[in-house]
Amino acid sequence: MHDRPVDQRIHDFGEVETGLTKSEAMHEAERCLQCKKPLCISGCPVNIDIPSFIREIAAGNFKKAAVIIKEQNMLPAICGRVCPQEVQCEGACILGNKDIPIAIGTLERFIADWERENGAVIPQKKALTGRRVAVVGAGPAGLTASAELARMGYSVTLFESLHEAGGVLMYGIPSFRLPKEIVKAEIDAVLSLGVDLRLNHLVGRSVTIQELLNYDAVFLGTGAGLPYFMNLPGENLPGVYSANEFLTRVNLMHADRFPLYDTPVKKGSRVVVAGGGNVAMDAARVALRLGGKVTLVYRRREEDLPARKAETARSKEEGIEFVMCSNPVRIIGDQVMTGVECVKMEMCDLDATGRPEPVPVEGSHFTIDADVFIAAIGQGPNPLLISELPELMRGKRGNVIVDEEFRTSLRKVYAGGDVATGAATVILAMGAAKQAAHAIDKMLREE
Ligand code: FAD
Ligand code: SF4
Per the model's pLDDT, the better-predicted residue between 351 and 62 turns out to be 62
What pLDDT was estimated at residue 107? Answer: 98
- 3-class DSSP state for residue 138? coil
Pick the closest to residue 182 from 71, 243, 108 (CA basis): 108
Query: Ligand 1 pocket by C-beta < 6 Å: which residues?
Result: 82-84, 136-142, 159-162, 167-168, 172-173, 201-204, 221-223, 225, 247, 278-279, 282, 382, 384-385, 417-419, 423-427, 429
CA-proximal residue: ligand 1, atom 40 (nearest): 425
CA of 255 to the centre of ligand 1 (A): 20
Neighbours of 39 (CB within 10 A): 14
Average pLDDT for residues 20-39, to the nearest whole number?
Answer: 97
CA of 104 to the centre of ligand 2 (A): 9
Pick from 51-55, 382-386, 438-442: least confident = 382-386
CA separation, residue 72 to residues 68, 151, 326, 443 (Å): 7, 11, 43, 21
Q: Categorize the per-residue pLDDT at 355 as very low, low, confident or very high, splitting at 50, 70 and 90.
A: confident
Per the model's pLDDT, the better-predicted residue between 390 and 52 turns out to be 52
- Across the chain, mean pLDDT equals 96
CA-proximal residue: ligand 2, atom 3 (nearest): 40
pLDDT digits (tens, 9 = 90+) for 156-170: 999 999 999 999 999
What pLDDT was estimated at residue 433? Answer: 98
pLDDT digits (tens, 9 = 90+) for 88-134: 999 999 999 998 999 999 999 999 999 999 999 999 999 999 999 99
Longest dimension (CA), the chain: 70
Query: DSSP readout, 103-123?
Result: -HHHHHHHHHHHHHHH-----
From the CB of 40, is ligand 2 less than 6 Å away?
A: yes
Neighbours of 43 (CB within 10 A): 19
Q: Categorize the per-residue pLDDT at 385 as very low, low, confident or very high, splitting at 50, 70 and 90.
A: very high
Rounded to 5 degrees, φ, ψ at 204 are 105, -15
What pLDDT was estimated at residue 354? Answer: 83
219 pairs with which residues across the strands? 135, 414
pTM exceeds 0.75, yes or no: yes
pLDDT at 68 over 80: yes
pLDDT digits (tens, 9 = 90+) for 302-321: 999 999 999 999 999 999 99
CA-based Rg of the chain, rounded to a whole angstrom?
22
Ligand nearest 49 Cα, by number?
Answer: 2
Tell me how far apart the alpha carbons of residues 410 and 219 are, in angstroms, rounded to a whole number: 11
Tell me how far apart the alpha carbons of residues 334 and 190 are, in angstroms, rounded to a whole number: 50
95 CB-near residues (< 8 Å, 6+ apart): 31, 33, 101, 102
Ligand nearest 108 Cα, by number?
Answer: 2
CA of 69 to the centre of ligand 1 (A): 22
Is residue 384 exposed (0-12), middle (13-18) or buried (19+ Cβ within 10 Å)?
middle
CA-proximal residue: ligand 1, atom 23 (nearest): 425
196 pairs with which residues across the strands? 157
pLDDT at 351 over 90: no
pLDDT at 350 over 90: no
CA of 145 to the centre of ligand 1 (A): 14
Cis upstream peptide for 259 (omega within 30°): yes
Rounded to 5 degrees, φ, ψ at 111 are -65, -40
Query: Of ligand 2's atoms, which has the minimum distance to the CA of residue 39?
Result: 5
344 pairs with which residues across the strands? 326
How much of the chain exceeds pLDDT 90, in percent?
Answer: 96
What pLDDT was estimated at residue 189? Answer: 97
Q: One-letter amino acid identity for 126?
A: K
Query: Of ligand 2's atoms, which has the minimum distance to the CA of residue 96?
Result: 2
C-alpha angle with apex 52: 71 to 81, nearest 5 degrees? 65
Tell me how far apart the alpha carbons of residues 162 and 138 are, in angstroms, rounded to a whole number: 9
Q: Strand runs (DSSP E) across 370-447, as ranges? A: 372-375, 379-380, 413-415
Tell me how far apart the alpha carbons of residues 271 and 331 are, in angstroms, rounded to a whole number: 12
Q: Which helix (H) or strand (E) holds 190?
A: helix 180-191
